[in-house]
Amino acid sequence: MSTVGDRGAAAPDTAPGAAPEAPSGAAPSRRRLLLLAPFAAAVAAGAGFYAMLRGLGSGSYDPKGVPSALIGQPAPDFTLPPLEGTDRPGLAATDLRGQGRPVLVNFFASWCVPCLIEHPQLTRLAREGVPIFGVAYKDKPADSLAFLQRHGTPYARLGVDQPGRVAIDWGLYGVPETYLIDRQGIIRWRWAGPLTEDTLSQELQPLLRRYA
């Protein structure tokens, strides 16, 4: 068959297997394999999803409460410059100690939608007197500034980590992410994802009381 004719001319009753792309003996089995490939991919993905769901139940897979190798360790050493245009000072590891109470370190970015969702909770915590230190992660300073101008600044100190170097030392999963650091500067808790009302009341508030 070459590039012939119309629908009518191109014999519609061709037997299965005699399709033009499968003319020889070896080709049909390869075609079979190709046709099986989507199913195989779906099965592999399905097995993975099943393992994730099982992990969600048992706690071994958790996209939110990511266990950190740093829990129980002192916060890594770092110094970050302040954000131009705000009156908040920059942030360094030494600022985490000596506050006389536990502090929160919150990684955020203007391009991160969940950061907007958790913003009212951060504002409320700040109003209640919890020192919150912000790190603007991989964000243009002008955009971070716009975000804070628009929604308010809950941060007592604010460091700019545009290259994301400090985030690597902290083992950041993504933004938003929040760490609780006790009075001695030891990391006690980590939360990847937005802080919701539930997270606040069920997880964070008890910890704040415990380490107060």
Partner 1 sequence: MIPELGHFALALALALSLAQVGLGLWGAQRAEARLMAATGPLAAGILIAVGAAFACLVWAYVANDTTVANVVQNSHSAKPLLYKISGTWGNHEGSMVLWVLILALCGGAVAGFGGNLPSALQARVLAVLALIAAGFLGFILATSNPFDRVWPPAPDGQGLNPVLQDPGLAFHPPLLYLGYVGFAVTYAFAVAALIEGRVDAAWGRWVRPWALAAWSFLTLGIALGSWWAYYELGWGGYWFWDPVENASLLPWLAGCALLHSAVVVEKREALKTWTVFLALLAFGMSLLGTFLVRSGVLTSVHAFANDPARGIFILGLLAAFIGGGFLLFAWRAAALTPTGIFAPLSREGALVLNNLLLCSIAAVVLAGTLYPMFADLILKEKISVGPPFFDTATLPLAVPLIGAMGLGPVMPWKRARFWPVLQRLWWAALAGLAGFLACLALEGQRLGPALGACAGLWLIAAALADLADRTALFSRPRAAWSRARGLPRAAWGGALAHAGLGVTILGLAGMGLATDRLALLKPGESVVLAGLDYRLTGITTVQGPNWTARRARVEVRDGDRLVAVLEPDKRSFPVGRMTTSEAAIHTTGLADLYAVLGEEREGGAVLRLHHNPLAPWIWIGGAIMALGGGLSLSDRRMRVSAPAARAAGAGARA
Q: CA-CA distance, 87 to 133, in Å (whole number)?
A: 14
CA nearest to 167, candidates 131, 190, 138: 138
Question: Is 7 a binder of partner 1 (CB under 8 A)?
Answer: yes
Q: CA-CA distance, 43 to 208, in Å (whole number)?
A: 45
Q: In what helix (H) or strand (E) does residue 151 lie, and over which residues does it extend?
A: helix 141-151
192 neighbors 174 (Cβ within 8 angstroms):
yes
Number of residues that bind partner 1 (CB under 8 A): 68
Stretch that binds partner 1, among 73-81, 92-100, 128-136, 191-199 (CB under 8 A): 191-199
CB of 97 to partner 1, least distance (A): 26
Give the other-Cβ count within 10 Å of 83's Cβ: 24
Stretch that binds partner 1, among 97-105, 140-148, 179-187, 200-208 (CB under 8 A): 140-148
Q: CA-CA distance, 24 to 17, in Å (whole number)?
A: 9
CA 35 to chain CA centroid, Å, is: 36
Question: Is 61 a binder of partner 1 (CB under 8 A)?
Answer: yes
Per-residue x/- marks for partner 1, 9-48, CB under 8 A? -xxxxxxxxxxxx------x--xx--xx-xx--xx-xx-x
Binding site for partner 1 (CB under 8 A): 1-4, 7, 10-21, 28, 31-32, 35-36, 38-39, 42-43, 45-46, 48-53, 55-57, 61, 63-64, 66, 85, 110-114, 116-117, 120, 123-124, 138, 142-143, 145-147, 149-152, 171, 173-174, 192-194
